[in-house]
Amino acid sequence: MMRYNDIAENDYYKECLKKTGEYEKNRKFCRHDIKHFFDVARIAYIIALEENMDINKDIIYAAAILHDIGRYKEYENGISHEKASADIAKRILSECGYNEEDKEMIINAILAHRGEKKREGLSEILYRADKLSRDCVRCDAKEECYWNDDKKNKEIVY
């Protein structure tokens, strides 16, 4: 069985997801829930296949399902969620048997998933998949969304 199943079943992981879910219960904008995480994982994996990138599926899924896991800490005390997520991911990845090399790659991609940064490999596909996962066309909150119009997804790609 792929190791990312262990991540999804990890107690600390589930606890973090639940906390973010409580903060986002009434959120009308994009949520950071398990659906978003697996949307990102699948899109990132499709991109990797389409572009013949040599990145293990187990690594792609781990980065995707952990990239926003610390979101609740941003609600709690303003810590940027890429940093919070990276810290939480370190512990969970160790508990799930990812080695140091895997961990470093995943943590770097999580830390680089926001803002203007130079990205390549896993970091680049995680960033693209994260943006592509959002269904702006069918979103009820699109008029109020802080994303610029040119950033919004106007068609289904994946």
Options 72-80, 97-105, 125-133, 140-148: segment touching Fe ion (CB under 5 A): 125-133
Shortest spacing between CB 68 and Fe ion, in angstroms: 4
Shortest spacing between CB 49 and Fe ion, in angstroms: 21
| 124 binds Fe ion per the rule CB under 5 A | no
Shortest spacing between CB 76 and Fe ion, in angstroms: 15
| 68 binds Fe ion per the rule CB under 5 A | yes
Query: Mind spelling out the 3-state secondary structure of the chain?
Result: CCCHHHHHHCHHHHHHHHHHHHHCCCCCCCCCCHHHHHHHHHHHHHHHHHCCCCCCHHHHHHHHHHCCCCHHHHHHHCCCHHHHHHHHHHHHHHHCCCCHHHHHHHHHHHHCCCCCCCCCCHHHHHHHHHHHCCCCCCCCCCCCCCCCCCCCCCCCCC
| 102 versus 130: smaller Cβ distance to Fe ion | 130
The mark string for 13-52 relative to Fe ion (x by CB under 5 A, - otherwise) is ----------------------------------------
- Provide the token pair at 45: 């994996």
| 74 binds Fe ion per the rule CB under 5 A | no
| 130 binds Fe ion per the rule CB under 5 A | yes
Number of residues that bind Fe ion (CB under 5 A): 2
CA distance 95 to 10: 8
**Footprint of Fe ion on this chain (CB under 5 A)?**
68, 130
